[in-house]
């Protein structure tokens, strides 16, 4: 018997959540936006009414208003979004213990043990959809299929507030005509390579010779072929939703473009302090340090490095972030507008590890980090400030763009 996998996607989550307490806005074009005064002036999310007027995610606010003069803009409320996300996942937990988050607003659910047939999977999906709507006021779209890839395509197929079943009888008719860019993990670069080879739809990808796909995309070509053909059998990775973070990060859009290594180093110190403090608060440490850089032309890169040992020390995170920057970017040639740091491959701080003699010199910095946390907890975030950051005018010492990176099941270890 085939598995029964659901993909549940909260519709227009940020906007819908922000409008829960303002029902008068529900029929109006609404967008959640960054702070234009701090150069965050882009559309983060929009509702269907705004979408119909041509408003797009990542569009500048002024561009959106030129298309939709009546657009209502709201500031993001991340604590509200996290609380509602937890509430919805609690609802999912009534139906199955096999829940895998895919960001704050999406989850896969494996309900195979609780179904007798795929048709019964639709009944569970409809029940979840109605329960979420009744108890939270939010709507979800649910895809039902025998694998995670097709169930996600199903939740995207019909929105909002809908259930779509992709089974072995209809997947060729529903899935294969879709553009190849709709398939999970097909980004712009991969799409361009496939389209240049005449592979424009998911059906084209499913029917393409494997040697061709290997020559175009390497091992990733085989994986995407399996996705398109409905052969993905990856499990739903059950995680407790209160401890779903796969990575902890912070980013900021700077007050002016960074044009020197000293300015970049200062930004990494600020961000690393915040990331390390949040990791310690969760009693976590990371083995991988990653950076995000975006220039003033909106081109960006991400780079990462695996460390020899786990860390929650801000100086170590900042050091490795700076090395990644120096090996991959030059702010003199490409001024930086937005910058971020995160740690991934997390593990508990309290787990037992075998120390070597040279690890003992890290005990003092680790103790210092916890001492800083105690002081900041008692007297506020400005109780301890690095001397090098005391007079900074380049950055906000307390960046607000916080990112808990949730499990992304594919191509991540």
Judgement on whether residues 214 and 279 belong to the same structural domain of the protein: no
Whether residues 334 and 201 share a domain: the answer is: no
Catalytic residue list: 106
Q: Say which CATH number the domain at 374 has.
A: 3.30.1490.100
Query: What CATH number is given to the structural domain containing 216?
Result: 1.10.150.20
Domain identity same for 203 and 260: no
Same domain, 257 and 399: yes
ω into 215 cis (within 30 of 0): no
Residue 317 belongs to some domain of the structure: yes
pLDDT for the residue numbered 351: 57
Domain-located, residue 400: yes
Q: Among residues 204, 229, 254, which one ends one of the domains?
A: 229
Say if residue 385 is in the same domain as residue 292.
yes
Last residue of a domain, one of 50, 78, 106: 78
Domain assignment present for residue 7? The answer is: no
The answer to whether 386 and 368 have CB atoms below 8 angstroms apart is: no
The answer as to whether 259 is a domain residue is yes
The domain total for the chain is 3
**Residue 135, SS3 per DSSP:** helix
pTM, entire model = 0.67
Neighbours of 259 (CB within 10 A): 15
Buried b vs exposed e over 176-212: b needs ≥16 C-beta within 10 Å?
bebebbebbebeeebbebbeebebebbbbbbebeeee
**Series of mean pLDDT values for 10-residue runs along the chain (413 residues):** 92 92 89 70 88 89 92 89 90 90 90 70 93 95 96 94 95 96 89 95 96 93 95 81 64 85 92 90 90 83 90 93 94 90 87 50 65 72 67 53 44 37
The full length of the chain comes to 413
The two tokens of residue 393 are: 């005018």
Structural domain includes residue 307: yes
**308 φ/ψ sector (left φ>0, alpha ψ -120 to 50, else beta):** alpha
Mark which of 41, 62, 78 sits at the end of a domain: 78
How many CB atoms sit inside 10 A of residue 119's CB?
A: 12
Contact 195, 382 (CB under 8 A): no
Q: Is 186 in the same domain as 37?
A: no
Q: Which of 104, 87, 96 is nearest to 121 (CA)?
A: 96
* Distance in angstroms (rounded) separating the CA atoms of residues 178 and 199: 12
The CATH code of the domain that includes 56 is 3.40.1170.60
Task: Specify the pLDDT at position 363.
Answer: 53
Which strand ranges, in their side-by-side order, compose the sheet holding 99-101? 99-101, 106-110, 5-10, 140-145, 163-165
Distance CA 254, CA 397 (A): 11
Q: What pLDDT, on the 0 to 100 scale, is given for residue 403?
A: 47
Residues 321 and 202 in one domain: no
> Does residue 144 lie within any of the structural domains?
no
Residue at 156 is within a domain: no
Say what the pLDDT of residue 338 is. Answer: 86
239 inside domain: no
Same domain, 199 and 316: no
Tell whether the torsion through CA atoms of 385, 388, 394 and 400 is positive or negative.
negative
Statement to judge: residues 313 and 383 lie in one domain = yes
State whether 222 and 270 are in the same domain: no
Domain hosting 285: range is 245-405
223 and 254, same domain (yes or no): no
Residues 224 and 251 in one domain: no
**SS3 call for 287:** strand
- Between CA 293 and CA 47, with CA 302 as vertex, the angle to 5 degrees is 80
């Amino acid at each position: 018997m085939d598995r029964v996998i659901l993909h549940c996607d909260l519709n227009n989550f940020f906007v819908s959540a922000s409008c829960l307490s303002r029902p008068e806005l529900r029929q109006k074009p609404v967008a959640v936006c960054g702070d234009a005064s701090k150069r965050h002036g882009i559309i983060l999310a929009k509702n269907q009414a705004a979408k119909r007027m041509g408003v797009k995610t990542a569009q500048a606010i002024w561009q959106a208003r030129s298309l939709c003069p009546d657009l209502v803009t709201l500031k993001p409320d991340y604590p509200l979004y996290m609380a509602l996300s937890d509430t919805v996942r609690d609802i999912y937990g009534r139906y199955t213990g096999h829940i895998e988050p895919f960001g704050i607003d999406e989850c896969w659910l494996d309900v195979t043990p609780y179904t007798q047939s795929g048709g019964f999977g639709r009944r569970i999906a409809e029940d979840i959809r109605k329960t979420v709507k009744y108890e939270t006021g939010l709507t979800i779209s649910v895809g039902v299929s025998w694998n995670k890839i097709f169930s996600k395509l199903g939740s995207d197929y019909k929105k909002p507030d809908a259930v779509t079943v992709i089974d072995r009888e209809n997947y060729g008719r529903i899935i294969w005509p879709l553009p190849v860019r709709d398939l999970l993990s097909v980004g712009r670069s991969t799409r361009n390579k496939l389209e240049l080879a005449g592979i424009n739809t998911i059906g084209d990808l499913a029917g393409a010779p494997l040697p061709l796909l290997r020559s175009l995309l390497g091992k990733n070509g085989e994986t995407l072929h399996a996705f398109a053909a409905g052969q993905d059998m990856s499990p739903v990775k059950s995680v407790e939703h209160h401890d779903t973070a796969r990575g902890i990060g912070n980013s900021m859009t700077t007050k002016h473009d960074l044009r020197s290594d000293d300015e970049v180093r200062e930004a990494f110190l600020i961000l690393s302090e915040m990331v390390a403090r949040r990791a310690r608060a969760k009693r976590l440490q990371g083995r991988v340090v990653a950076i995000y850089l975006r220039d003033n032309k909106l081109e960006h890169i991400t780079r990462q490095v695996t460390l020899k040992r786990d860390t929650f020390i801000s100086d170590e995170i900042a050091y490795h972030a700076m090395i990644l920057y120096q090996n991959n970017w030059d702010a003199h040639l490409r001024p930086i507008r937005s910058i971020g740091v995160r740690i991934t491959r997390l593990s508990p701080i309290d787990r037992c590890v075998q120390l070597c003699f040279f690890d003992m010199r890290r005990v003092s910095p680790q103790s210092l980090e916890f001492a800083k946390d105690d002081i900041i907890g008692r007297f506020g975030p400005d109780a301890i400030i690095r001397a090098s950051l005391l007079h900074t005018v380049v950055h906000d010492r307390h960046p607000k763009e916080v990112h808990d990176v949730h499990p992304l099941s594919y191509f991540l270890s």
